[in-house]
Amino acid sequence: MSVTREPSTRDDVRAAVVAAAARLLREAGAEAVTTRAVAQAAGVQAPTLYRLFGDKDGLVDAVAEHVMAAYVAGEAGAADGTGDPVADLRTAWDAHVDFGLANPELFALLSAPGRRDPSPAAVAGIEVLRGRVHRLAAAGLLRVDEERAVTMIHAAGTGTVLALLEVPVDRRDAGLSAAVLDALLGALLRAAPAVADAGPRALAIAFATAVPDLPGLSDAERALMAEWLDRAVRALREA
């Protein structure tokens, strides 16, 4: 009779479980990632999974961290990019879509309705996106405020991946991703940086990016100015 032998340390257990879950996800799909199957594949008792991860969402988050670690680290490391904020956003978009298509089961799990919270790995990716959008705003290229731009890009990127995953590989529209991004950028970006006659909204969005670095102001004054600009941008958006 075989006896289940758990790895000797908590870190060993966690690594074994995450690796087993990632392997099951890759080889057999999302439906195969059950606590019972993962525990058996990792050689641990099922209660161990709950002690380590809390529930299945916690386990999926850990798998996402494992699979996405190199991807997010690479994106963050390239945050300064080429010096062209539009080109860098295109590169990030392509990487996001490519990752989703290469890891369909994981992407579907992370995007599934009903998750209690976003995956930490997904949150890290959003922060990278937020930095890229900030560079667009600092260059005076955004038509909308930064938060709206981040939300629109994230929603469009996720939707593009899910739409492509619904179609067999040999029938996918190879130009869909680029077409969606082009349409999105047409709505988000100005053809040229904001100038004095560009209107108050474009100027407020661009000026807001400089507030943290303005000299001669206290932190409280910078915070108040940022609040004023944010209120102005929102009012102009709703006008």
> pLDDT tens digit string along 19-68?
899 888 888 887 788 888 999 999 888 888 889 998 888 888 888 877 77
Number of domains the chain is built from: 2
Residues 182 and 206 placed together within one structural domain of the fold? no
Residues 199 and 183 placed together within one structural domain of the fold? no
Lowest mean pLDDT among 71-75, 96-100, 174-178: 71-75
Share of the chain above pLDDT 70, in %: 79
Residues 87 and 179 placed together within one structural domain of the fold? yes
Distance between CA 157 and CA 96 in Å, rounded?
7
Asked whether residue 34 is domain-assigned, the answer is: no
Q: Which of 68, 205, 212, 232 has the alpha carbon at shortest distance from 147?
A: 205
Distance between CA 45 and CA 47 in Å, rounded?
6
- In the prediction, which pLDDT does 220 show? 80
Band of pLDDT at residue 207, cut at 50, 70 and 90: low
Within 10 Å of residue 164's Cβ, how many Cβ atoms?
19
Residues 124 and 224 placed together within one structural domain of the fold? no
**157 lies in which domain range?**
79-136+146-192
- In the prediction, which pLDDT does 198 show? 52
Residues 166 and 217 placed together within one structural domain of the fold? no
pTM: 0.65
Asked whether residue 27 is domain-assigned, the answer is: no
Band of pLDDT at residue 139, cut at 50, 70 and 90: confident
